[in-house]
């Protein structure tokens, strides 16, 4: 019987660790392309939901239906399309971290709590011939625990909210996680986003909207027990619809500039 020594025990344990780590890292490297494909598919599915082309939970050929969606990279400062930059070649999250591709947001304007924003963003449209029927704007910002990523869809008037929801967040299920509650999301549909000077007016109030109040068209019920997440949602929506966000782009669409 071979003699048991501490050195032997340690070397067997180390050997097991090395073999396991090779397995884990090989799996991570091999699965990366599949994860990237699934992420793109999931994003496309959420865009189709925001576009009103499919409903939540519906099985669909996402890649086929996504051909109906027009995507474009825009310069947020001007609202103009960025020539020669295809949406599939642009990673907005990477750009937001890159000092060359992003700008710092002054703290008093940083409603979304994101500190920097990329100069460019991808926007999505649904068209009826040459007419834009719906524009889908990716938005994000701080909740209580996490950065929340969502999509706001505006109708042809660039004012009425047609769809709203998050596709990624880390808020507490049952509290801040109620941002995913279909009944809460449904409240946003039909609300007006802007005042008569095209400043963002939509807000999440504490409590319940009084239906005959003059501002009811701009108000959404708060989330009980999750006021901080709800405030984060309101702030990030206001930020992205404002001058630092998609404001110049929406102004250009409202002015009826050629788009295509």
Ligand X SMILES: Cc1cc2nc3c(=O)[nH]c(=O)nc-3n(C[C@H](O)[C@H](O)[C@H](O)COP(=O)(O)O)c2cc1C
Q: Which residues bind ligand X (CB under 6 A)?
A: 144-145, 171-172, 175-176, 224-229
Which among 68, 81, 73 is positioned nearest to 128, based on CA atoms? 68
Q: How far is the CB of 250 from ligand X (least distance, A)?
A: 29
Q: Taking the complex as a whole, how short is the minimal distance between the CB of residue 223 and ligand X, in angstroms?
A: 7
Query: Which residue number is nearest to ligand X in terms of Cβ?
Result: 176
Integer Cα distance of 223 and 221 in angstroms? 7
Q: Which is nearer to ligand X, 76 or 237 (CB)?
A: 237
Q: Which is nearer to ligand X, 75 or 221 (CB)?
A: 221
The nearer residue to ligand X, 144 or 193, going by C-beta atoms, is: 144
Least separation in angstroms between residue 181's CB and ligand X is: 13
Q: Are 223 and 208 in contact (CB under 8 A)?
A: no
48, 62 in Cβ contact below 8 A?
yes
Contact 149, 167 (CB under 8 A): yes
Least distance to ligand X from the beta carbon of 105, Å?
23
Q: Which is nearer to ligand X, 38 or 224 (CB)?
A: 224
Residue number, 145 or 149, with CB nearest to ligand X: 145
CB of 32 to ligand X, least distance (A): 30
Q: Which two tokens stand for residue 239?
A: 């930020």
* DSSP secondary structure letters along 58-98: ----HHHHGGG-EEEEEETTT--B-TT--GGG--HHHHHH-
User: And the tokens for 227?
Assistant: 């006021």
Question: Among the residues of the chain, which ranges form H helices?
Answer: 6-51, 62-65, 92-97, 182-188, 227-241, 247-254
């Amino acid at each position: 019987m071979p003699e048991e020594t501490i050195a032997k025990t340690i070397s067997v344990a180390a050997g097991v660790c090395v073999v396991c780590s090779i397995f884990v890292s090989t799996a991570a490297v091999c699965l990366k392309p599949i994860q990237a494909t699934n992420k793109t598919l999931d994003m496309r599915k959420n865009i189709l939901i925001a576009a009103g082309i499919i409903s939540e939970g519906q099985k669909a050929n996402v890649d086929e239906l996504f051909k109906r969606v027009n995507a474009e990279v825009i310069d947020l400062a001007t609202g103009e399309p960025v020539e020669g930059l295809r949406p599939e070649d642009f990673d907005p999250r990477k750009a937001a971290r890159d000092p060359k591709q992003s700008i710092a947001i002054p703290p008093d304007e940083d409603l979304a709590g994101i500190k920097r924003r990329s100069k460019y963003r991808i926007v999505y449209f649904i068209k009826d011939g040459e007419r834009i029927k719906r524009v889908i704007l990716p938005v994000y910002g701080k909740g209580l625990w996490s950065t929340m990523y969502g999509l706001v869809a505006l109708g042809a008037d660039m004012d009425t909210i047609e769809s709203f929801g998050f596709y990624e967040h880390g808020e507490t299920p049952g509290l801040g996680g109620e941002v995913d509650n279909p009944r809460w999301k449904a409240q946003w549909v039909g609300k007006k986003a802007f005042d008569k000077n095209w400043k963002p007016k939509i807000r999440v109030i504490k409590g319940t909207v009084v239906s005959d109040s003059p501002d009811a068209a701009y108000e959404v019920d708060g989330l009980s027990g999750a006021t901080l997440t709800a405030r984060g949602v309101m702030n990030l929506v206001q930020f992205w619809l404002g001058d630092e966000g998609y404001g110049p782009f929406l102004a250009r669409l409202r002015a009826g500039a050629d788009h295509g």
